[in-house]
């Protein structure tokens, strides 16, 4: 069977299920609502141009319409019957067009789109990352690609029942959430995952549910079970408890037009002086300041106010955090304590005309959410790093470990700023063994104020000089 024939078979089976789809689509409905919630937090223009891939009966379409309001909608599905079912739903606010389309090959569409989205459809792509890359090619500058799909581990119980019966399940193979990455270079974003469990009275109920939504096309090259084989699998499945786990992957990416001019300030540890370093750099480079995730505001003012005072920045040079949390903990721990959801994949840098100083929370391996560390955010923002480090005992080890972690992720390091009693030996060791430049040494200060910051800023090399030195540096071999 050719790929075109396989795709046609998928469309036909979904089309046959169009009228009863919603009666069996509990997981699909939950997923569409959660994806729509993620999308509603994006910064979209008024009346955005939206392309939906694999609309089905319209679960995501209507969830977005309730949250976003008027838009220019292009709604597509590989199945004409599914597309017709979606079109029979409530009228969409704005303008809408409906088109039969194999979403893996969307080149017939002109674009560009401010949002391209899909809920539980792209798992049917032959090459997921290539298909996502083609979709991303239709994005407008600063446009967003947002999808929900199935990940590795889905239907594990059904596969285990086959194994118990001496068989191999014909369910498709899904990628791990970490392996989902559109084949396009100028995208910033990532994937977070979720697990949903659905209990069934028995295996027949599970199969009827799959048939009810049309998701019965076996993986390419696989044949359906015989009646005797199916009875053995159902018996094993029922014995296990007739439960099915869905591993859901939510991908959110933004098309970036260029790498932001500026740096990401991180540290070898928490309490290392990142905020003071950020203020000095902002003053030296006449830069804007942004703290994507702020924690600990229950005990002290946020770092944005501190940097504004120390660097004497006017309000228009400051950008509000994406998340503000009360507890002085990692973002992940604080969010858990406060029953708040933090999602690193929704964090996008502000648009600025000036250079941008971005300050992280804690060190490189501070968790932001269930699946992302601070180093993941740095990589996604695609900015060079200024590493804040202590000058005293232990700094060589801590600093070199941090530099090695950044190197392994391919993240360029603009330089290191050391704070504390001056140590020529430690400075020399970090520069030599870390193959990095120490941009400044901050001695102990009797008073930390705007005057002290201004004086220290005078010794910082110009940003253009630092960036030029970075681009001229030879590549490092792992």
Determine the Cα–Cα distance for residues 139 and 151; give it in Å rounded to an integer. Answer: 24
Q: pTM surpassing 0.95? A: no
Give the model's pLDDT for residue 308. Answer: 96
273 annotated to a ligand binding site: yes
291 annotated active-site: yes
Residue 100 and residue 194 in one domain = yes
**Residue 477 located in a structural domain:** no
Say if strands 413-419 and 438-442 run parallel, antiparallel, or are unpaired.
parallel
Determine the Cα–Cα distance for residues 322 and 378; give it in Å rounded to an integer. Answer: 15
Determine the Cα–Cα distance for residues 252 and 244; give it in Å rounded to an integer. Answer: 26
Residue 76 and residue 185 in one domain = yes
Hey, is 446 helix, strand or coil? coil
Give the model's pLDDT for residue 297. Answer: 87
428 annotated to a ligand binding site: no
Cβ contact 39:115 at 8 Å: yes
Give the model's pLDDT for residue 1. Answer: 47
Distance of CA 342 to the CA centre of its chain: 11
Residue 233 and residue 319 in one domain = no
Residue 56 and residue 115 in one domain = yes
Give the model's pLDDT for residue 108. Answer: 86
**Residue 60 located in a structural domain:** yes
Tokens of 236: 């094993």
463 annotated to a ligand binding site: no
Splitting the chain (478 residues) into consecutive groups of 10 residues, what average pLDDT does each group show?
A: 54 65 85 95 94 96 97 96 94 97 89 95 92 91 94 93 92 88 77 91 88 68 83 93 93 76 91 94 95 89 92 93 91 91 84 91 93 88 92 92 91 94 95 94 95 95 85 49
Residue 178 and residue 244 in one domain = yes
**Residue 400 located in a structural domain:** yes
Cβ contact 145:221 at 8 Å: no
Give the model's pLDDT for residue 54. Answer: 96
Residues 129-149: pLDDT tens digits? 889 989 998 999 889 999 999
Residue 244 and residue 347 in one domain = no
- Quote the domain boundaries for residue 192: 3-255
362 annotated to a ligand binding site: yes
Q: How many domains does the chain have?
A: 2
DSSP string, 10-25: HHHHHHHTTTTGGGG-
Residue 198 and residue 179 in one domain = yes
368 annotated to a ligand binding site: no
Residue 251 and residue 268 in one domain = no
What CATH number did the domain enclosing 408 receive?
3.40.50.300
What CATH number did the domain enclosing 33 receive?
3.40.50.150
**Residue 478 located in a structural domain:** no
Catalytic-role residue among 211, 254, 255, 291: 291
Residue 350 and residue 447 in one domain = yes
15 annotated to a ligand binding site: no
- According to DSSP, residue 231 is labeled H
Residue 346 and residue 210 in one domain = no
């Amino acid at each position: 069977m050719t790929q075109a024939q396989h795709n046609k078979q998928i469309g036909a089976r979904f089309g046959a299920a169009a009228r009863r789809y919603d009666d069996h689509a509990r997981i699909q409905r939950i997923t569409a609502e959660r994806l729509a919630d993620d999308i509603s937090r994006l910064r979209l223009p008024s009346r955005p141009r939206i392309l939906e891939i694999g609309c089905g009966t319209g679960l995501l379409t209507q969830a977005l319409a309730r949250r976003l309001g008027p838009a220019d909608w292009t709604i597509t599905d590989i199945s004409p019957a599914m597309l017709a079912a979606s079109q029979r739903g409530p009228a969409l606010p704005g303008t809408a067009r409906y088109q039969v389309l194999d979403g893996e090959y969307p080149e017939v569409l002109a674009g560009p789109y401010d949002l391209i989205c899909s809920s539980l459809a792209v798992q049917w792509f032959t090459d997921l990352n290539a298909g996502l890359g083609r979709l991303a090619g239709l994005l407008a500058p600063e446009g967003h690609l947002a999808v929900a799909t199935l990940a590795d581990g889905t239907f594990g119980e059904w596969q285990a029942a086959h194994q118990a019966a001496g068989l191999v399940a014909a369910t498709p193979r899904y990628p791990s959430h970490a392996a989902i990455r559109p084949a396009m270079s100028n995208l910033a974003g990532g994937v977070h995952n979720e697990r949903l469990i659905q209990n069934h009275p028995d295996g027949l109920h599970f199969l009827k549910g799959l048939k009810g939504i049309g998701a019965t096309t076996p993986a390419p090259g696989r044949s359906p079970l015989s009646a005797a084989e199916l009875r053995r699998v159902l018996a094993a499945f029922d014995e296990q408890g007739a439960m099915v786990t869905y591993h859901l992957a939510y991908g959110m990416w933004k098309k970036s037009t260029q790498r932001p001019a500026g740096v990401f300030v991180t540290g070898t540890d928490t309490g290392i002086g990142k905020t003071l370093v950020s203020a000095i750099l902002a003053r030296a480079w006449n830069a804007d300041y942004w703290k994507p995730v702020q924690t600990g505001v229950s005990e002290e003012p946020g770092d944005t106010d501190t940097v504004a005072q120390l660097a004497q920045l006017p309000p228009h040079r400051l950008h509000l955090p994406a998340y503000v949390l009360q507890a002085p903990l990692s973002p992940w721990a604080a969010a858990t304590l406060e029953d708040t959801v933090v999602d690193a994949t929704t964090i996008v840098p502000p648009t600025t005309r000036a250079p941008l100083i971005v300050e992280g929370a804690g060190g490189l391996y501070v968790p932001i959410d269930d699946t992302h560390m601070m180093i993941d955010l740095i990589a996604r923002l695609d900015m060079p790093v200024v590493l804040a480090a202590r000058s005293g005992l232990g700094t060589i080890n801590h600093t070199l470990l941090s530099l090695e972690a950044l190197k392994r992720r391919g993240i360029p390091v603009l330089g290191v700023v050391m704070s504390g009693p001056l140590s020529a030996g430690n400075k020399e060791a970090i520069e030599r063994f870390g193959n990095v430049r120490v941009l400044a040494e901050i001695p102990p200060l009797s008073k930390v104020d705007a005057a002290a910051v201004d004086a220290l800023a005078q010794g910082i090399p110009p940003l253009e000089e630092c960036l030029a030195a970075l681009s001229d540096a030879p590549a490092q071999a792992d």
